[in-house]
C-alpha cells in the first residue's frame, strides 16, 4: 500500500517538474468547457432554418428573414443552391423566375415549404433530396479533420520524439542530409493522407451515395494535398516550442478541439456567436472544409470560386513553413 501511495505521489510530482505538462493538463479541460460554451451560447446550431437565396428571390427572402427562426444566406448558382439543399446545409431555396418567386424544399419538408410559401406569398415545390444528406455534409469536414490529425501526429509529434531520443543528433553524424530526411517524412505522410482520403471517399460513395464526379478528383487531390502540407507545417511550428513528447500530445489535443468546433466540420460557422464566425473564416481548416464542400457538393470547378479559399490556405502554409524553418532546432 505504501508503494502504491509513493508511486502515485511521484507521478503527480512529475507534473510539478514539467511546467508545460502542468499547463496542458489544466488548459485542456478549461478550453473544452470554454469553447463548447461559446459555440453553443445561442442554442443548438440547427435550431434555425437556413434558406439559400438566388437572384430574384431577395424580396421573399427578406420577408422570411424577419422570422427569428430563419437564417438567410446567398447562393451564386442554382447548382450551388441545390447542392446546399441536398446536403442539408439549407432546408430551402428561394429563387425568382418567369412565373414568380418559388420556394424549393426537399421531399421530406413539405410542411416547411407550404408554411414558407404562405408566409411570403410565393409558390413552392419539392425536389428529391437524399436521406443521407447530412452525412454528405459531414464527409468534407471529416476529410479535413483526418488530414489535421495525420499532419500533427505525422510530422510534429515524431520530430519531438526524434529530438528527445537524440535520433536527430545522431542523424547529423551520417551522410544523410537533414533536408532529405525531412522531405522523405513529408512525402510519405502526404502519400498516406491521399490514400486515406481515397478510402474515405470510396466508403462514403459505396455506403451513403456520396457524390463523387470524375471532374472533381483533380481539385480534391490538390486540396487534400494542401491540407496535409499545412497541418504538417503547423505541427512543425508546435515542435519548435514544445520539447517534451508527452507535452506535444497534450498540445495537439488542445488545438484539435477548437479546430473541430470552429471549422464547419459539423455546422456552418455563421451560427457561432460574436466574433467567432470571422475568426473561424481565418482558419485554414475552415477554408479547406469550404473548398471540399464547394468542389464535391456544389459543383465548383473554377479559380474564381475556389481562388480566395486557396489563397488563405497557401498563406498559412507559407507562414508556418517560414516560422518552422527559422525556429526549429534539431537538438535541444
Tell me the pTM: 0.81
Mean pLDDT, rounded, for 295-312: 88
Q: What integer pLDDT is reported at residue 69 of this predicted model?
A: 79
pLDDT score for 6: 62
Question: Could you please report the per-residue DSSP string of 245-299?
Answer: HHHHHHHHHHHHHHHHHHTTSSS-GGGS-TTHHHHHHHSHHHHHHHHHHHHHTS-
Higher-scoring residue by pLDDT: 45, 308 = 308
Give the Cα separation of 131 and 292 in Å (integer): 21
124 forms beta bridges with 103
Instruction: Please count the residues of the chain.
Output: 332
Q: Mean pLDDT check: name the lowest of 26-30, 71-75, 104-108, 168-172.
A: 26-30
Strands 70-74 and 92-95: unpaired
- Grid coordinates of 164: 528527445
Mean pLDDT value of segment 277-283: 87
Query: What mean pLDDT is reported for the chain?
Result: 80
Q: Give the C-alpha separation, 144 to 150, whole Å.
A: 10
Give whole-number Cα distances, 293 to 54, 101, 115, 137, 227, in Å: 19, 27, 29, 7, 14
Q: How many CB atoms lie within 10 A of CB 330?
A: 14
Provide the grid cell at 30.
478549461
Cβ pair 135, 92 in contact under 8 A: no
Given the DSSP bridges, would you call strands 70-74 and 123-127 parallel, antiparallel or unpaired?
unpaired
Confidence band (pLDDT; 50, 70, 90) for 330? low
Amino acid at each position: 500500500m505504501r508503494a502504491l501511495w509513493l508511486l502515485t505521489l511521484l507521478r503527480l510530482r512529475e507534473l510539478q517538474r514539467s511546467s508545460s505538462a502542468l499547463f496542458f493538463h489544466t488548459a485542456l479541460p478549461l478550453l473544452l468547457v470554454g469553447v463548447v460554451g461559446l459555440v453553443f451560447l445561442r442554442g443548438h446550431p440547427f435550431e434555425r432554418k437556413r434558406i439559400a437565396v438566388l437572384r430574384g428571390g431577395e424580396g421573399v427572402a427578406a420577408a422570411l428573414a424577419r422570422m427569428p427562426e430563419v437564417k438567410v444566406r446567398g447562393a451564386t448558382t442554382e447548382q450551388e443552391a441545390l447542392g446546399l439543399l441536398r446536403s442539408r446545409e439549407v432546408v430551402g431555396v428561394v429563387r425568382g423566375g418567369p412565373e414568380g418567386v418559388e420556394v424549393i424544399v426537399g421531399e421530406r419538408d413539405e410542411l416547411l415549404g407550404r408554411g414558407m410559401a404562405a408566409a411570403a406569398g410565393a409558390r413552392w415545390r419539392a425536389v428529391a433530396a437524399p436521406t443521407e444528406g447530412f452525412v454528405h455534409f459531414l464527409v468534407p469536414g471529416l476529410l479535413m479533420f483526418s488530414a489535421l490529425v495525420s499532419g500533427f501526429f505525422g510530422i510534429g509529434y515524431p520530430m519531438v520524439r526524434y529530438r528527445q531520443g537524440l535520433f536527430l543528433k545522431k542523424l547529423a553524424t551520417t551522410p544523410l542530409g537533414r533536408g532529405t530526411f525531412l522531405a522523405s517524412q513529408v512525402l510519405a505522410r502526404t502519400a498516406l493522407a491521399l490514400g486515406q482520403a481515397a478510402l474515405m471517399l470510396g466508403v462514403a460513395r459505396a455506403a451513403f451515395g456520396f457524390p463523387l464526379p470524375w471532374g472533381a478528383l483533380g481539385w480534391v487531390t490538390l486540396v487534400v494535398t494542401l491540407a496535409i502540407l499545412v497541418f504538417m507545417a503547423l505541427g512543425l511550428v508546435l515542435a519548435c516550442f514544445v520539447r517534451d513528447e508527452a507535452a506535444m500530445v497534450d498540445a495537439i489535443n488542445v488545438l484539435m478541439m477548437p479546430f473541430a468546433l470552429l471549422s464547419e466540420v459539423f455546422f456552418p460557422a455563421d451560427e457561432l456567436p460574436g466574433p467567432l464566425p470571422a475568426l473561424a473564416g481565418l482558419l485554414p481548416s475552415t477554408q479547406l472544409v469550404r473548398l471540399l464542400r464547394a468542389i464535391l457538393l456544389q459543383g465548383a470547378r473554377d479559380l474564381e470560386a475556389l481562388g480566395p479559399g486557396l489563397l488563405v490556405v497557401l498563406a498559412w502554409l507559407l507562414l508556418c513553413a517560414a516560422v518552422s524553418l527559422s525556429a526549429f532546432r534539431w537538438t535541444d
